[in-house]
Amino acid sequence: MRQWIDDRFGTPRGAVRLGLSYAEVAGGFAPIQRPERDAVRRLVFVCHGNICRSAFAEAIAQREGYATASFGLSTSTGSPAHPPIAAIAAERGLDLSPHRTTRVEDFVPLPGDYLLAMEVRHLRKMATIPAIAALPRGLLGSYAGLPLPHLHDPYKLGDGYTRVCLTRVEDAVERLCASFPAARRA
């Protein structure tokens, strides 16, 4: 049973956080600020360290031809993507070697940005940062075929869950892109 949980949710904590996030979103407690569809000009992916989920999501959206950025809420600027994530991305035809982390303090918001977090707690933190608090924000996983408002961090977790997580991220980004055609690069 534990392996099943680990492979699908990362850890038991990941499974619990997913359950809680469904309740937070359904109850209106997640600080989501939906954008005007045609006002979105850039998709901005946000996670904790900007080395796994947001780095991979940004690469997928770039492959699809969209204007993108990413940053981490608790990171330093200039680090590469996490090597296991870069290896899986390479298997899927994505090169993460150009990626460098950006900390939230170094992120430069632009008109038309839509911030896409991996977890409800990321939304909460973004709502307290004056430079980005007014920007539209949502949960990337809510765009997946099976909405998942919590995409648990695969950092230092098993290969099984890491692959599941990245597949979920890829599905969500592809569907997200279809929802915001004005963010496509000219």
CATH number of the domain enclosing 119? 3.40.50.2300
Residue-level pLDDT at 51:
97
Please give the tally of structural domains in the chain.
Answer: 1
* 168 neighbors 141 (Cβ within 8 angstroms): yes
Positive or negative, the Cα torsion across 33, 149, 109, 49?
positive
Residues of the chain with confidence (pLDDT) below 50: none
CA distance 170 to 153: 15
Query: Which residue range(s) make up the domain with 176?
Result: 2-183
> pLDDT at position 31, please?
96
pLDDT at 84: 96
Q: State residue 6's pLDDT score.
A: 81
Residues 6+ apart with CB under 8 A from 128: none
Res 59: pLDDT: 98
Measuring CA to CA, which residue among 75, 21, 68, 69 is closest to residue 50? 75
For the entire predicted model, the pTM comes to: 0.95
* pLDDT at residue 182, rounded to an integer: 95
